[in-house]
Amino acid sequence: MPEISGVITTHLRALGAGTRDRVVFAILTRNPYFIEDLPVTRDDGEVWVDIANIKDGVLLRFRDGELDSVRTSARQEGDYYPYPEPEQLISGLDVSTVTPEDVAAVLGEPSEKQPRDEDGGTHGLRYDVDGGVVTLTFRDDQLTTVTVSRS
């Protein structure tokens, strides 16, 4: 299991916490631009709530009141701008310029390599780390998102 450090550890520690929990509050108070969406109840009864900061490229997704994942954008995608401190998210990596080879040099071999999609552009590297899972998604070998999740 690779050791990981940087701002991302704050995200990992918050997994499973509630929307008003202190560890979630620490993420939300870094920047005043977070907006909470209305809850969505899925057919299976799960209630999902997103709290997004498009200016900083961060999306917190809660399932049944607990933080399920945090997605951070490495480059502009849709409404989301790139994370403003690309060298701070994962120590040893600049997420604005990192390649899959750079990630492997810092974090080692991933626990899973997600294959390229049908058009051959999007693929991912999944790392099981202490506290959750880190998935780095690439499009045309440029990092697009870093997601921490419970599974």
Domain boundaries, the chain: 8-149
Does residue 60 contact residue 67 with C-beta atoms inside 8 Å?
yes
**Cβ-count burial of 106 within 10 angstroms (0-12 exposed, 13-18 middle, 19+ buried)?**
middle
Instruction: Tell me the residue type at 146.
Output: V
pLDDT at 94: 97
- As a whole number, mean pLDDT of residues 89-107 equals 95
pLDDT at 99: 94
Give 32 or 45, the one with higher predicted confidence: 45
Q: Which pLDDT band, with edges at 50, 70 and 90, does 150 fall under? A: very high
| pLDDT at 7 > cutoff 90 | yes
pLDDT at 131: 86
Does residue 27 contact residue 15 with C-beta atoms inside 8 Å?
no
| pLDDT at 112 > cutoff 80 | yes
The SS3 of residue 148 is strand
Alpha-carbon distance of 72 to 80, in angstroms, equals 9
Alpha-carbon distance of 151 to 131, in angstroms, equals 10
The SS3 of residue 22 is helix
pLDDT at 32: 80
pLDDT at 98: 96
